[in-house]
Amino acid sequence: MKYYDLEERCLRFAKRTNKYVRDLPRDIPNIENGKQLTRAGGSIGANYVEANEALGKQDFKMRIKISKKESKETIYWVQLTKPASENRKEQEYLIQEATELMKIFGSILEKSK
């Protein structure tokens, strides 16, 4: 059985998102969309860390909801970017990983009811 640390996974995702944004071609849409992507991609893990330090069940659920929302938003911003041809696979990876994170947070929400 594999051990998965969701905080670590979110951190790796945020770092990979940052690298992806740094490697985007420099034009106005990529710069602006990249800023939003950086914020959303980092917010996923930041809110999950906050959830793990929650003051109560309601606080926990609210932070998980925010992580799920930020995962969905990240997908949107990744789709708006236009990477160089050599980074298209990374774009696909980020969309897939954000989708998986969104599903994980959805599952956590369902189980916390």
Query: In this predicted structure, what is the pLDDT of residue 54?
Result: 86
Q: Which domains does the chain have, with CATH numbers?
A: 6-111 (1.20.1440.60)
pLDDT tens digits, one per residue of 23-74: 999 999 999 999 999 999 999 999 999 999 888 999 999 999 999 999 999 9
| pTM for the full predicted model | 0.92
75-107: per-residue pLDDT in tens?
999 999 999 999 999 999 999 999 999 999 999
CA distance 64 to 109: 7
